[in-house]
């Protein structure tokens, strides 16, 4: 099975092959010696690799993991081949458009755009306040504001739909 | 001494006070919001009183509820911790009026120090150095040049209506004043519709250095030396150390003396902190925090003094237990705040439930934490979950010990600020002690590449596969042992080293 | 300095060494038995080598396996910890012969100090005081009276074939000698068929006091003061403190000087401990432990010196980092050993799996522990799971802090010795510092009545009922939240205080 | 429901009554105000009673519990009415006889008695070694040795049957 792993934004390909009950691991085409085992059922793991030992903590579910080794946190996005194939089509469609979600729970302070307005990548869309700090959410790419799903003063949960941007080149 | 006190706070500071009170044989009444029904502070006190509500404004900030709890439980004094009502003079007054002891300074001292203008006036009168500057706007560039003589260069020109860095110029020499004044004034006019400008000394290489003081009710006062807190971001401190890397015995004595003068000027009692801005050999009064501070433990580690005990004793009317000469400093201490923040996402607040916890331990590592498995970290309260404090014979040892301690720490389920602190500790400028209040904001944390990226990719894939196997086992989903055994069988060759010997399944 | 060392040990002491090594930038090779595949020491090192086997005799005691691991991983030195091979002269010699550095004293020093007769001889020659006594049996009561003059009263008459307290008499005055000799001799004759008797000074109110020393390879030597370890049971220490409650600066200097003399007499290098028996103003050499000791942390807390760091530095050939004058003492430290023992069942060894862990924290509490959730505690290894160490400004503060820390501790799933330590801390004689090596064995631990018996009965019943409800829910058995909600509904009125506000389900 | 609770050897009776969804607690006939809730799913509980709060740890299963409050450990044996009734008959039968079990895992060093031998309460039956310490197991009451289920040198588990003592007065 192949896995597509993005770590802090950089892509890697991991191939796991099971043969006669033995799993071999290749990362970006190169073999890596690895032994992995769970310690406490709560997120602590012990890993031996290439003659070194690691106390590893893994955190998160499904395709979004946080892996911590000696205090260094790696943000991991992982997909297997099937998910990759399914996701690729979706991504292609959304390439120049998409949904902006709330990156944290908070209260919408201000909406900076209107439906129908054209925006550039990086342009502020709205301001979200959490823990007394205001954070700008910016457009991930250029496009036209298709819909706005929140209003000033509204409390929103993490991951809540906020603003839909439609692509300019390939309207759907 | 008090037999029973009420702690009007939550989190690690409530637990901090409980610990010393328990050691002194004093009973603690804790108060808790709905969100804190299972919190460590609620469980670790002697009597717990529910305040109701999930928000601070419904619970920890409601003076009446807290006073009622104190009355009903027979508490003799109230410790406010930091934050919440700790610097609320009206609350302090209500506590005293209710016949209870207030474990903090007199309400008047809180009021004066809480007011920018009043406190500047009081400090000026007491001969405490303030950042030189004008209280009125200057009329034109010539007036500015004239006024600058009394202030001293470099000078900062600031827009009266200012904000966002607009209308600000740094002038290092009288010859630059004219053009700087003109452009700043124009910028301020167009940005704010108000071209008036103030002058203030610009502090190069500013460092935030503060002095811990304690006053009893009998005129006694001591300082416990300084803490350097320049590692901050948006005025939120991340890492503090004591002694300050650039503070020698002479400067310590000088700053201590000025800090005591500041307190005396407002009739201070109890524990407080006088914050200074230090720049190139000079230091200036910034403000006084009229309460115990988050970073008090580093002072405790180097002086060996339990500040909460001293605080309780002077609040109970006892004279200070030690003279200035009896306060000595040994070694070096560092504190790192463990906040619920996602460093990789630009310090966005992080939420979640703590599923897994590995706290550091061993020699000279102190953990002041309110974390436990099951703790839900939300957005209603301060994001600080814990403080890691280390002590070392010298600064270099303390730095390495803190690195080691942070490498041992793991908070599963909630992102924390620990990686940012590790990044700070690794910076050559920090290690040399050469840093200012701009240090942390200038540090590029996003660009950091972990050294183990290939390994992490492999671990993630193997973990993903193991999780899928576990899910595939269906009914056994909760049975980690079954899953582990399966994972082991699948990985038998590689795993021989790691798990076959252990046979821990 | 070494780049990589191997730690030939397990448990908290392996972790202790790893921590300092990590702080010094030294890589650690750990070794582990099958039972320790997931142990903290295995996970926290840089390189882990499996030894195989579950028993010490198959793993940590197999010199060849350890030497092989050191060679294969390129370790330059071996730290033996305590126990296992740490006082095995043949192993030390093998390490040195293999071209590795031995982080311990020269094999010859281990040998001499490990032999009762040889060490007594060496100490006698060096002028180190030994408990006065005869090496040969005395012929009769008259001979005993004559010999007693040279020994000094009180005298203990001991059967040569002795055991079980039979044939022992204490003689406090020459007039008592005749009758005591007769009855002891008769008792010995009838019990062992051997009436021969020895004489030795009887030490009234004996206290176990030991001195920590360190010698470098260049003739430098320092002592770090004493530890009092009289709280013991069957020669197993439970609680240690430093400084000794009855030791003043003069006695400390004297004992330190004698301890250094003892080490010099055998050409000592590295860290060691000279144990003395103290009685009424006199002290006598007992033995020398030629390794780091379990209780070394209390010395670290009062001196501020990292003993493992000093140990590594002298093993690497560096001269001692400080002179005797630079070693100073501040405050008071206490250590309690957390052993897997059931105090209520007369200290029977306890086994089990650690399901739940709440470690103490906060100011001046140090935890050296090898516990983690999931740890299986068996009978193959030393029962010590952790050490709690506290520091306080003075002895009274340290005692209260230790009580507080032990009250915070919880080890779910395995019984520990903590309740016994709490009982010791509560005893007036202990609090006054007036105790001897007989103290703990004379303490009645079984008869203790907890103050909360009615409450515990009620909690147990409610818990039992909640567990039964959970089981009755069948499929939901693993879902504690569902169960909790049910329990809450059932208890709603009573629970209003505790859980409704929290709504944490 | 009534519970029979023995704490460090002393008996208590606890009565729990549920009425209209409210549970009331009586200990030895006296009412006790109690709120109990689970904290972490691993053995930590929070209890409020008579105006005081307690961080409680509970450990153990079924009828044998260890309850720790502020470092003080209470050994609890608990039975409900049904178990009590079932157990009472058994205990009556075994009153003057019974089975001696291993109180800890260890190795049998020596068996001090023989089958058929009469023993008194407190007489050593065998010596068990664990963690390098030898421990005597003594007869809980007088009787005659009926059977011996272990031999010197044998490793035994906690709770293993070791020796059966038959009553002298009422042989069964």
> For residue B45, which residues of chain D lie inside 8 Å, CB to CB?
53
* Residue C401 main-chain phi, psi, to 5 deg: -70, -40
In the numeric block, the tokens 């009274």 are attached to: C396
Point out the residue among A40, A51, A52 whose CB comes nearest to the CB of C374.
A40
Going by pLDDT thresholds of 50, 70 and 90, the confidence category of residue A49 is very high
The ipTM of this complex is 0.84
Query: Which residues are bridge partners to C334 per DSSP?
Result: C241, C390
pLDDT of residue D136: 77
- pLDDT less than 50: residues of chain B: 475-505
B48: contact with D, CB 8 A cutoff: yes
Point out the residue among C46, C48, C372 whose CB comes nearest to the CB of A40.
C372
Query: Which residues are bridge partners to A13 per DSSP?
Result: A4
pLDDT of residue C43: 95
User: Which carries the bigger pLDDT value, residue D131 or residue C343?
Assistant: C343
Number of C/D CB contacts below 8 angstroms equals 197
B30: contact with D, CB 8 A cutoff: yes
User: Which carries the bigger pLDDT value, residue A83 or residue C462?
Assistant: C462
SS (H, E, C) D38-81: ECCCCCEEEEEECCEEEEEEEEEECCEEEEEECCEEEEEEEEEH
Q: Which domains does chain B have, with CATH numbers?
A: 4-103 (3.40.50.20), 132-201 (3.30.1490.20), 207-447 (3.30.470.20), 453-505 (no CATH)
Compute the mean pLDDT over every residue in chain C, rounded to the nearest whole number.
90
Name which of A20, A31, A35, A64 to mutate to probe chain B: the one with the most chain B Cβ atoms within 10 A of its Cβ.
Answer: A35
pLDDT of residue C501: 29
Q: Give the DSSP letter of residue B175.
A: G
Instruction: Please give the share of chain A, as a percent, with pLDDT higher than 70.
Output: 90
Quote the CA–CA distance of D58 and C462 in Å, as a whole number.
Answer: 12
pLDDT of residue B495: 33
pLDDT of residue C502: 29
pLDDT of residue A30: 95
* Residue C263 main-chain phi, psi, to 5 deg: -65, -45
Going by pLDDT thresholds of 50, 70 and 90, the confidence category of residue A132 is low
A140: contact with B, CB 8 A cutoff: no
Quote the CA–CA distance of B185 and C430 in Å, as a whole number.
Answer: 75
pLDDT of residue A129: 78
Cα C292 to its chain centre, rounded Å, is 11
Quote the CA–CA distance of C329 and C205 in Å, as a whole number.
Answer: 26
Average pLDDT score over residue span C383-407: 98
pLDDT at C495 over 70: no
DSSP track, C377-422: E-SSS-SEEEEEEEEESSHHHHHHHHHHHHHH-EEETS--SHHHHH
D33: contact with B, CB 8 A cutoff: no
Assign domain A2-80 to a CATH class: alpha beta
pLDDT of residue A164: 86
What 3-state DSSP class applies to C46? coil
Q: Contact B45/D44, CB-based, under 8 Å? A: no
Q: Contact B460/A23, CB-based, under 8 Å? A: no
Going by pLDDT thresholds of 50, 70 and 90, the confidence category of residue A138 is confident
Query: Which residues are bridge partners to C492 per DSSP?
Result: none
Residues 6+ apart with CB under 8 A from A172: A93, A97, A166
What 3-state DSSP class applies to C211? strand
Average pLDDT score over residue span D36-42: 90
* Residue C415 main-chain phi, psi, to 5 deg: -75, 145
Residue C259 Cα, gap to closest chain B Cα (Å): 25
Residue C37 Cα, gap to closest chain A Cα (Å): 9
Point out the residue among B234, B452, B492 whose CB comes nearest to the CB of A21.
B492
> For residue B48, which residues of chain D lie inside 8 Å, CB to CB?
48, 53
B113: contact with D, CB 8 A cutoff: no
pLDDT of C343-382, one tens digit each?
888 888 999 999 889 999 999 999 999 999 999 999 889 9
pLDDT of residue D60: 85
pLDDT at C488 over 60: no
Which chains, if any, share at least 3 CB pairs under 8 A with chain C? A, B, D
CATH 2.40.50.100 domain residues, chain A: 96-166
Measure the CA angle with vertex C82, ends C41 and C36; round to 5°: 30
Which chains, if any, share at least 3 CB pairs under 8 A with chain D? B, C
pLDDT of residue B478: 38
pLDDT of residue C492: 31
The fold for domain A96-166 equals OB fold (Dihydrolipoamide Acetyltransferase, E2P) (2.40.50)
pLDDT of A14-45, one tens digit each?
999 988 778 899 999 999 999 999 998 889 99
Asked which of B136-140, B284-288, C323-327, D140-144 is least confident by mean pLDDT, the reply is D140-144
pLDDT of residue A55: 95
What are the C-alpha distances in Å from C279 to residues C129, C209, C223, C437? 13, 10, 21, 11
pLDDT of residue B487: 32
Q: Contact C461/D3, CB-based, under 8 Å? A: yes
Quote the CA–CA distance of B396 and C250 in Å, as a whole number.
Answer: 34
C463: contact with A, CB 8 A cutoff: no
pLDDT at C485 over 50: no
pLDDT of C251-285, one tens digit each?
999 999 999 999 999 999 999 999 999 999 999 99
pLDDT at C434 over 60: yes
pLDDT of residue A133: 64
Q: Contact D55/B47, CB-based, under 8 Å? A: no
Q: Contact C494/D25, CB-based, under 8 Å? A: yes
Locate the chain C residue with the closest alpha carbon to A43: C373
Average pLDDT score over residue span D37-57: 92
CATH 3.30.700.30 domain residues, chain D: 2-80
pLDDT of residue A131: 64
Point out the residue among B23, B44, B397 whose CB comes nearest to the CB of C400.
B23
> For residue B37, which residues of chain C lie inside 8 Å, CB to CB?
498-504
Residue B100 Cα, gap to closest chain D Cα (Å): 21
Taking alpha carbons only, the member of A108, A112, A117 closest to residue A157 is: A108
Q: Which two tokens stand for residue C343?
A: 């105090």
pLDDT at D86 over 90: no
Q: Contact C484/D38, CB-based, under 8 Å? A: yes
Point out the residue among A22, A37, A106 whose CB comes nearest to the CB of B498.
A37
User: Which carries the bigger pLDDT value, residue A165 or residue B283?
Assistant: B283
Can the peptide bond before residue C160 be classed as cis, meaning omega within 30 degrees of 0?
A: no
pLDDT of residue C475: 39
Residue C428: burial class (beta carbons within 10 Å; 0-12, 13-18, 19+): exposed
Average pLDDT score over residue span A145-169: 82
pLDDT of residue B159: 86
Residue D66 Cα, gap to closest chain B Cα (Å): 19
């Amino acid at each position: 099975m192949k896995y597509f792993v993005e770590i802090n934004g950089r892509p890697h390909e991991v191939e796991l092959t099971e043969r006669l009950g033995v799993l071999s691991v290749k990362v970006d085409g190169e073999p890596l010696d690895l032994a992995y085992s769970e310690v406490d059922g709560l997120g602590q793991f012990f890993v031996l690799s290439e003659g070194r030992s690691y106390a590893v903590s893994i955190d998160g579910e499904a395709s979004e993991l946080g892996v911590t080794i000696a205090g260094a946190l790696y943000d991991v996005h992982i997909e297997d081949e099937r998910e990759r194939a399914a996701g690729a089509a979706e991504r292609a469609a959304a390439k120049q458009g998409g949904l902006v979600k709330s990156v944290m729970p908070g209260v919408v302070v201000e909406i900076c755009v209107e439906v129908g307005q054209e925006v550039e990548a990086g342009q502020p869309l709205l301001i979200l306040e959490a823990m007394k700090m205001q954070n700008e959410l910016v457009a991930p790419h250029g496009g036209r504001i298709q819909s706005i799903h929140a209003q000033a003063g509204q409390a929103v949960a993490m991951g809540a739909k906020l603003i839909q941007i439609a692509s300019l080149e390939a309207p759907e | 001494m008090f037999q029973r006190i009420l702690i009007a706070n939550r989190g690690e500071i409530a637990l901090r006070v409980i610990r010393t009170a328990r050691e002194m044989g004093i009973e603690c009444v804790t108060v808790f919001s709905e969100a804190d029904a299972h919190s460590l502070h609620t469980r670790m006190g002697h009597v717990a009183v529910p305040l109701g509500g999930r928000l601070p404004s419904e619970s920890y900030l409601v003076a009446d509820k807290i006073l009622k709890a104190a009355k009903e439980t027979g508490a003799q004094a109230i410790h406010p911790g930091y934050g919440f009502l700790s610097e609320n003079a009206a609350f302090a007054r209500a506590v005293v009026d209710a016949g209870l002891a207030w474990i903090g300074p007199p309400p008047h001292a809180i009021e004066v120090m809480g007011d920018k203008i009043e406190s500047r006036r009081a400090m000026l009168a007491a001969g405490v150095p303030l950042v030189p500057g004008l209280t009125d706007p200057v009329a034109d560039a010539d007036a500015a040049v004239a006024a600058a003589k009394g202030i001293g260069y470099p000078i900062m020109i600031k827009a009266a209506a200012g904000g966002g860095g607009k209308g600000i110029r740094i002038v290092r020499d009288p010859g630059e004043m004219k053009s700087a004044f003109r452009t700043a004034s124009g910028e301020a006019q167009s940005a704010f519709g108000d071209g008036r400008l103030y002058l203030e000394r610009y502090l190069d290489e500013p460092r935030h250095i503060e002095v811990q003081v304690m006053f009893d009710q009998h005129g006694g006062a001591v300082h416990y030396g300084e803490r350097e807190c320049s590692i901050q971001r948006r005025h939120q401190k991340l890492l503090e150390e004591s002694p300050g890397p650039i503070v020698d015995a002479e400067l310590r004595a000088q700053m201590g003396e000025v800090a005591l003068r500041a307190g005396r000027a407002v009739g201070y009692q109890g524990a407080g902190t006088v914050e200074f801005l230090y720049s190139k050999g000079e230091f200036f009064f910034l403000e006084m925090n009229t309460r115990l501070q988050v970073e008090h433990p580093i002072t405790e580690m180097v002086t060996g003094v339990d500040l909460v005990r001293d605080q309780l004793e002077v609040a109970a009317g006892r004279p200070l237990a030690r003279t200035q000469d009896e306060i000595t400093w040994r070694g070096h201490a560092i504190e790192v705040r463990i906040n619920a923040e996602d460093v990789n996402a630009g310090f966005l607040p992080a939420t979640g439930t703590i599923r897994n916890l590995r706290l550091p331990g061993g020699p000279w590592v102190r953990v002041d934490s309110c974390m436990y498995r099951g703790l839900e970290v939300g957005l209603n309260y301060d994001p600080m979950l814990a403080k890691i404090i280390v002590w070392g014979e010298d600064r270099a040892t303390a730095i390495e010990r803190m690195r080691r301690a942070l490498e041992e720490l793991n908070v599963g389920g909630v992102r924390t600020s620990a990686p940012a602190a590790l990044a700070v500790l690794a910076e050559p400028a920090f290690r040399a002690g050469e840093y200012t209040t701009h240090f942390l904001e200038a540090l590029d944390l996003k660009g950091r590449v972990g050294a183990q990226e290939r390994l992490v990719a492999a671990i993630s894939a193997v973990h993903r596969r193991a999780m899928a196997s576990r899910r595939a086992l269906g009914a056994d989903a909760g049975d980690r042992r079954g899953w582990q055994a399966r994972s082991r069988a699948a990985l038998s060759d590689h795993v021989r080293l790691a798990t076959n010997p252990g046979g821990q399944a």
